[in-house]
Structure 1
């Protein structure tokens, strides 16, 4: 299978997975919203039923209602209660409204029923439900389940009627046909299903459009990242070549190994899809940029040829030393170094052997005095600034440096021998007002050493 076919198959697989997730999410969201809406609708219907039963119960006279009997039909209290319930029966969308009495044995019976056809007979038993028992205890409630009796199947709301003493003297019951109640909920369910189907269709269509647009942007992004990767690769190559240039001063055995490490190995990969390719390219670009940043940070204060600290670093250091001299009593020493015979070598053999000598001079100086203490300040001149070092310390460092130079020359690693004039001076509070005064004496000591070198050479 070719790489292109693999990418096409991977794109189709990813699209199907994304579409499936979209469909599942839509279904779950629709079901969740449907359940929440159904719960809310049921609460609204129940509240409407309670509002009707509570209003009717409030309008009845509890003191009169508790004494009414079947024989009181036609009396003024009976008629008032009947007309109140009939007003609700005739003007509000409900099936039945009627009065109920809780008997001493825990059963319930009809009192006043305003129904024109087949009303409940006063004193006849009525089906007991949890909501009805709640109303008998003074708390209005609605049936959670439909119940059946001789008049049909209903959901009912029940509200207590209180007398002047705050006691339950009767109950108002309101019936709503179970088919009407369930029909309201089923209509909502049907609407939810229609909305779900519509949302799925729209979702699928939008998914195709989005994926099509996304692929276009993805391809454009991939081209931009490839260009960025190419640019960062050029930066990386430039840094590598700059580093390798310094490695050219080393012996062949060390040079070849370090060149291999500097160049690295090419790692060509094949990708299953654009996503994997973009991720890999971004990772590659980030690595190269991090390498570039580290390179810039490390070379901001480094000399390009010798990798010793450069003039900018040197200026920062002496500025700090002068501040320390003003504010405290620092302990530091300054070593001054200058290559012997470099002008003659450059004149006779060219600048490359001279560069080679300066490179190794800096390397030996850093080995002895420390990588961050050696500064190339001009041409073949180097300065070592050593904090907390005394004259005795500097003499030991100079002896060690002489041994390093002799060992290097004996190794015959390069064609020309290395010779360095050197001198040092130590800061003394009573003699030096600033860093420059310390440096001048160190330089004079180096020049004396250089003059002696040439006298011995001439002799």
Structure 2
């Protein structure tokens, strides 16, 4: 029942007005799918790049290792060591040169060479053997021979790469590093050559151009990206076709019909005109179920809306009556200030503040003097005038604080915030006001208001509840009353 009331209230208030979509569902789905594919392309491309790069480097390292193993197997270490020491090319040296030249011809590598890096006072690269192709030997000789030293072709940082590789290599494993020099950007594999005396006299190296590696990586990555994009495009096309047929198009129809119904219902006072024209949707899914549910809801609304409006009116009437009852229950009938019941509720709230350690308040206790005399001499009507007039004066002084009538002639003022900050000024004003009015002979006896008063401020060190503060204010008020009686004789 509450559901129908809410729907009808929304329609009657004109709240269900569905504006043109600022973000059409089709566009949102397309953007979402495209974003997903782009992110997928980025992630898969990154994974492909790093995976393939690692794999390719491993493949090239295996290839370079095989070449170094193969070449070293044809090196007579002692003969080559002697050639380095004497600077004379032996027969085996020349055979090794021809063999390494053949390796250059048969394998796709950039350089194959044996060197010794020098990093002393005059850094340079000591050449032992530099392989070359048959064409290079004949037409473009590099000019390097056994014992030649290149000072200009290698930077000091590059020489340190070779030197560190030779010093750290144990002659069994292969050290790999990237080398950017005047010869190009290469990936180098190196193994130290150690003679029978344990001396590292040379470094056997093979180079593969990094550009070739990057080219292979780029081609493979690009091919994978194109494949992902192609598959993603096909996926988006198929997905959008499917989702448009089963969701977006039916939802668009449903939205249009609901908007039309909302326009009819807006400010509509005749329930018989609340007719919902359901769209033709046969998706066999939740969208169709939603269409059926809306259609049933519109029928139910049309059938019961009159009763619901009546019920809403009754509820509002009951709320009004409850408000009036609350006013009667918590307001003093004579003075219209808050009564004892309200004071008791406030006491609970203040006691909770005390328990939470955030209480800050004071209490002014007031008791009307001479009320019995007014009643006895001038009647209860003037006695009531006396009570109302005195209460009015208190309310004017403490206009920011609640005033409670807790007994026939007893009033309590709860001081908080601004009135608490100005407590002394207000209390003196209270004294002066009632002292003046009580002595004004121009007024009728029931207009000469007199009160006994006492004020106490909450002290967390001695007060455990609001009632403790009330009792201290009451004691001060009682002392004031006694002093007043004694002064009058």
Which interval holds the TM-score relative to the shorter structure? 0.3 to 0.5
TM-score (norm 2): 0.41
TM-score (norm 1): 0.43
